[in-house]
């Protein structure tokens, strides 16, 4: 195999791994919801959508032939991660300042009217409040962990792509 082919394979493997991690995070959220009884708020559900979009674009990018289509899917992964950063950042803010509501009255009907809320209500329907304090995991709230995951995705995906392609051009 040529050097370029090996680098494309490596990029696709990164995307598959990222997609699997995102699906695992959604699975963890569902476990916490169903088994531990932690009800998801509108911002939690929007974060699940962002994770699902990242996974979807990552898997599509890994399956598509050619560098150009791979680059488009990677850009969509980063945009989805940035959307997740915005939602998770607002969620962290809401948890630090509980007087600032997540707007359950405003957001709930909007989030509950999205297609996946109808298809898979257990995983994508609002059932809680953003300011509800759940026990931290390793010192961080779920919203803080989500924010960290989205920031890492938004930073590492372009960094790994640039690093991988820089070596290709040198």
Question: pLDDT (tens digit, 9 = 90+) per residue, 94-122?
Answer: 888 877 666 556 777 778 888 888 888 77
- pTM value is 0.87
Rounded CA-CA distance 77/67 in Å is 15
Q: Please tell me the predicted confidence (pLDDT) of residue 141.
A: 86
CATH topology of domain 3-169: Bromodomain-like (1.20.1550)
The two most distant CA atoms of the chain are separated, in Å, by 59
Q: Please tell me the predicted confidence (pLDDT) of residue 151.
A: 96
Q: How does pLDDT run across 67-81, given as a tens digit for each residue?
A: 777 788 999 999 999
Structure tokens at 85: 């950063």
Rounded CA-CA distance 104/94 in Å is 12
Q: How does pLDDT run across 5-49, given as a tens digit for each residue?
A: 777 788 889 999 999 999 999 999 999 888 988 888 888 899 999
Domain ranges of the chain: 3-169
Q: How does pLDDT run across 122-136, given as a tens digit for each residue?
A: 788 887 777 777 788
């Amino acid at each position: 195999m040529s050097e370029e082919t090996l680098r494309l394979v490596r990029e696709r493997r990164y995307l598959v791994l990222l997609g699997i991690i995102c699906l695992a995070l959604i699975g963890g959220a569902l476990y916490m919801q169903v088994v531990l009884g932690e009800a998801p708020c509108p911002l939690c559900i929007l974060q699940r959508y962002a994770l699902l979009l990242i996974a979807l674009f990552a898997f599509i990018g890994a399956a598509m032939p050619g560098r150009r289509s791979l680059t488009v899917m990677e850009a969509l992964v980063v945009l989805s991660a940035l959307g997740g950063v915005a939602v998770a950042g607002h969620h962290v803010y809401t948890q630090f300042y509980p007087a600032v509501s997540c707007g359950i009255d405003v957001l709930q009907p909007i989030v509950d009217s999205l297609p996946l809320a109808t298809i898979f209500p257990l995983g994508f329907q609002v059932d809680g409040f953003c300011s509800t304090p759940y026990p931290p995991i390793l010192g961080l709230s779920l919203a803080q962990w989500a924010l960290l995951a989205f920031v890492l995705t938004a930073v590492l995906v372009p960094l790994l792509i640039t690093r991988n392609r820089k070596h290709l051009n040198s």
